[in-house]
Amino acid sequence: MILEKPGTLLILKDVPVPDISPEQILIKVHACGVCRTDLHIVDGELTSPKLPLIIGHEIAGEVVKVGGNVYRFKSGDRVGIPWLGYTCGKCKYCLSGKENLCEFPKFTGYTIDGGYAEYTAADEKYCFSLPEKYDYTNAAPLLCAGLIGYRSYKMAGEPEKIGIYGFGGAAHIITQIAVHKGKKVYAFTKSGDTEGQEFALKLGAVWAGDADEIPPDKLDASIIFAPAGALVPLALKATDKGGVVVCGGIHMSDIPSFPYNLLWEERMIRSVANLTRDDGDELMKIAPEVPVKTEVQIYKVEEANNALNDLRAGRVKGAAVLVMD
C-alpha cells in the first residue's frame, strides 16, 4: 500500500521484492500494526516522509533471506521491526546511550519503506526476536504501541498512581504492565466513551472517566497518548506535587496557556522521542511474563485505508493490525 502524497489515500500496487544489503534481512511480513504515527504521516502532520512511501512500523514477520554480514538472525526466524530503523552510532547521543535522539536516524515506514506490504527489508541490528508466546498478529502492536508505551512508562519514574490519557493501543498494553507491577491505573478517555472506560477497567484500571474529570486520588504521574495538547493542563491539574506528565506521542496539537500554579510545586512536563534497542529487549522479555494480551482489530492489507479511517474516528478497540496472508 503506497503513499504517493500526504493527504491522499494509500494505493495498492505491485512493487519488486526489496533487495538487501550485507547488513540487512529480508522479511516476509505476516502482520503490521496500524499506529497513530501512520495517521500523522498520511495526514501531513509529519512533514518529511520519503515519497513514494510504504508506511508501517509495527512489523511482525519471518526472515526469508539474510545479508552476508548478518549474524543475529537466520532464515525462518520470527522477527519484529520497530520505528527506529537506523542510528549513526557516532553522534554524542549515540555515544552516550541515547540513540533515540540520534542526529542522523532513519525511521521505518517514514524515511525507510515499512510494513504495509508482503515483504520488507531491515537492518538486522534494529530488529527484535519475537517472544514465542505471541503469534504474528498479536505481536505486531508490541513493536510501537508497546515500545513507546513502555518508554513513556519508564519516563514517568516509579509512580504508585498513574493516569493514562487516551486509551488506545499503547494504553491497553502499558496498563497491563503497570497493573502487573502493582501500580494503580486511572484511565481517561474522550467524553462519553463508556466502552473505552469499561475496557480499561477490565484490564485492571482502578478508575476510568472522561478526560476532563478529576480522578478520586491525586496522581503521581500521567502519560498522555492522545495527540491533544489541551490534555496537558488537565493532566497537570490531576497530578500531585513533584509529579510528571509524560507526552508519549510524536505529534501533538498546540498546548494552550495555563496558570503557573498548575506547574508549580515541582511538577514536570516531558516528551518521549522514539525508542532505544534496550527498550525493545526489555519489553520483549516482560511482555510474556505479565503476560500482556494485545486486543487486535484485524484488516486485510488492502483495507489499510479503512483501518486508518477507523483509527482516526476512534472506532478501534485496542490496536488495528493489517494481515498479509
Yes or no: say if 237 and 210 are a contact pair by the CB < 8 Å rule: no
How do the pLDDT tens digits run along the chain, 325 residues long? 999 999 999 999 999 999 999 999 999 999 999 999 999 999 999 999 999 999 999 999 999 999 999 999 999 999 999 999 999 999 999 999 999 999 999 999 999 999 999 999 999 999 999 999 999 999 999 999 999 999 999 999 989 999 999 998 899 999 999 999 999 999 999 888 899 999 999 999 999 999 999 999 999 999 999 999 999 999 999 999 999 999 998 999 999 999 999 999 999 999 999 999 999 999 999 999 999 999 999 999 999 999 999 999 989 988 999 999 7
Please give the grid coordinates belonging to residue 154: 519508564
Compute how many other C-beta atoms are within 10 angstroms of the C-beta atom of residue 73: 18
CB distance 282 to 307 below 8 Å: no
Q: Are 25 and 65 in contact (CB under 8 A)?
A: yes
pTM of the model: 0.93
How far is residue 139's CA from residue 135's CA, in Å, rounded to a whole number?
Answer: 6
Q: What CATH architecture is 147-271?
A: 3-Layer(aba) Sandwich (3.40)
Summarize pLDDT for 87-119 with one digit per residue, the tens. Answer: 999 999 999 999 999 999 999 999 999 999 999
From 94, 117, 96, select the one nearest 304 (Cα to Cα). 117
Does the bond joining 52 to the residue before it have cis omega, within 30 degrees of 0? yes
Domain 2-143+274-323 has CATH 3.40.50.800: no
Find where cell 520488507 sits.
Answer: 120
Domain ranges of the chain: 2-143+274-323, 147-271
Residue pointed to by grid coordinates 520505528: 83
Fold match between domain 2-143+274-323 and domain 147-271: no
Q: What is the DSSP secondary-structure string of 17-86?
A: PPP--TTEEEEEEEEEEE-HHHHHHHTTSS----SSEE---EEEEEEEEE-TT--S--TT-EEEE-SEEE
Q: Please report how the helices 277-289 and 145-155 are oriented relative to each other, as an axis angle in degrees rounded to 10.
A: 100
According to the model, what pLDDT value does residue 287 have?
A: 96
* Cα radius of gyration rounded to whole Å, the chain: 19
pLDDT at 127: 97
Tell me the pLDDT tens digit for each residue of 171-226.
Answer: 999 999 999 999 999 999 988 889 999 999 999 999 999 999 999 999 999 999 99
